[in-house]
A and B are shown apart, each in its own frame.
Chain A
Amino acid sequence: MNKVLMQGNKIIGEAAIRAGCLFYAGYPITPQNELPEYMAENLRKVEGGVFIQSESEIAAIHMVAGASAAGARSMTSSSSPGISLKQEGISSLAACELPAVIVNMMRGGPGLGNICPAQGDYFQATRGGGHGDYRVIVLGPDSAQELADLTMDAFDLADEYRTPVMILADGMMGQMMEPVIFKEPKPRVYPESFAMTGAGTGKSKIIRGLILDPLEMEEHNWKLHRKYQVIAQRETRHELYKTDDAELILVAYGTGARIAKGAIKRLREAGLRVGLFRPISLWPFPTNELRDLAKRTENFLVFEMSTGQMVEDVRLALQGRARIGFHGRPGGVVPTPVELANVVMRQYDRKEGIIDPVT
């Protein structure tokens, strides 16, 4: 396997094409433009591959729904404001149980915000985002290698559970070049019977999100709910980094987790036993895995490039078993590992809870 040096956005494109993605639709927005650019150039070289620069983000997500209904592995991508526009379509994909991969290279918000890396879309991504009772599987890569691996996995998960899957990264992950090795993708497992391939002799297939009978809609909701419960049990992913002897455990994801690892290196050199819990699946959140760590230490510090969103999932996981501190830099600021190390040093010996006091 060859190691290549590639930009994050292009890595996702290459991984998607290798995973058999045949349809991409999107509308330009910084900092993810290199992804549609890559798809425009390379998807047409794939037999049956279709690239469309759509007239809007909303059009793109609905084109993806159409291609998915026809049985093609489909993808769209955007950055924060564009992802907001796609929410109606994502809700629709969830309702119709259509697999699709959606990439969000987060930037500073709210509103149009700026084009710098941020993590302010955690709530939107992990709580469904659009209207209605649904969830989206959300994966948060922290390296070039994970951008490639998780993109391939996202297509598999989308097919397996017939549900939209989101790759939640940020402008830095999208713009940065790092070495990557593309693994062999798994063969696609997706029954042809799900795809709308034209009127045959068989039973007619109906894909719809409009279910007017409330009892029928209720049953559909419970069906989706049972599916999400299975996903929540089976598909959590996380990384433990130097947590074995840790007195304080940082919790961070994506770019934030990289900064945390840099901070931990410095803190360990200074003799402070600090580790990192890194959720890789943001929904389902690795709740039990994090809760287990509270048996080892009672001192946690959440770091996000936002004013505090994932911290709520950490509170739900720890349920008062530990003291939870928080450090956030929203708006497109990427703090240095030194800054985070200084914050940790101040909180290392703290005995009082900042958010959840031990009762």
Chain B
Amino acid sequence: MMVKTIFAGFGGQGVLMMGYSLAHGAMSAGYNVTFLPAYGAEVRGGTANCTVAVSDDEIASPIASEPDNIVVLNTPSLYTFQNRVAFGGALFLNSSIIAVESSRHDVRIFKIPSSEMAEKLGNPRTANTVMMGAFLKMTGLVPPDIYLSSMETVMGSKKKSVIEINHKAFAAGYEFLKMAE
């Protein structure tokens, strides 16, 4: 098994955090992982992205020319990456911000109003964690308990209240797609 996912959005939306926490979770679940951030010359307010590969075999290239999944938090990222997703792959959209439709009809599309959901929970900065809940619900890549403990590790010395609200945000994302099924 080999699953590659690209996470993308505005700088500051927690895009790298999504990839880092997933990679850590998958490592804790016993998989081989690679995490590759885009480190090119980027413009302020532009897009950030990273690629995570999860496999039970050796990972050759950490780059995804044809990712199985993409998780996009803003419209420019959708335009940049939607045509890369493999046939039959999955596209996770932050529908609070992305008002346009994807041009792909051969992939599964999941729309999650993650920014609004995060705001309702009391912290708009947890939109990325809402997306992770939805993402792991549909992909089953890492068991939620393992992921959440990795998320805590990755957050390190963050305040307890921050950890708690991220737990809530994850649960909200996880439950959201359950209801949508």
Contact = CB atoms under 8 A, between A and B. Distances in A.
Contacts of A116: 40
A178 B34 contact: yes
B24 A5 contact: yes
Contact of A31 (B20, B39, B62, B65): B39
B39 A265 contact: no
B80 to A, nearest CB: 17
Contacts of B27: 3, 5, 179
B62 A176 contact: yes
Nearest to B39: A175
Interface residues of A, number: 24
Given A172-B62, A176-B62, A177-B20, A30 B39 contact: yes
A262 B61 contact: yes
Contacts of B65: 336, 338
A261 to B, nearest CB: 5
Contact of B60 (A31, A115, A262): A262
Nearest to A175: B39
A209 B149 CA distance: 56
A318 B176 CA distance: 62
A261 B63 contact: no
Nearest to B64: A336
Nearest to B41: A115
A334 interface: yes
Contacts of A171: 39
B37 interface: yes
B181 interface: no
A208 B33 CA distance: 47
A115 B39 CA distance: 8
Nearest to A255: B61
Interface residues of B, number: 21
A175 B27 CA distance: 18
Nearest to B58: A261
A46 B41 CA distance: 34
A337 B36 contact: no
Interface in B20-60: 20, 23-24, 27, 32-37, 39-41, 57-60
Interface string A79-120: 000000000000000000000000000000000000110000
Nearest to A30: B39
Contacts of B37: 175
Interface in A147-200: 171-172, 175-179
Contact of A258 (B23, B33, B35, B61): B61
A259 interface: yes
Interface string A1-31: 0010100000000000000000000000011
Given A31-B39, A175-B39, A265-B60, 20 more contacts: A3-B27, A5-B20, A5-B27, A30-B39, A115-B39, A116-B40, A172-B36, A175-B36, A175-B37, A177-B36, A178-B33, A179-B27, A179-B33, A258-B60, A258-B61, A259-B61, A262-B60, A262-B61, A336-B63, A337-B61
Interface of B: 20, 23-24, 27, 32-37, 39-41, 57-63, 65
11 contacts: A30-B39, A175-B36, A176-B36, A176-B62, A177-B23, A178-B35, A179-B33, A258-B60, A260-B60, A336-B61, A337-B60
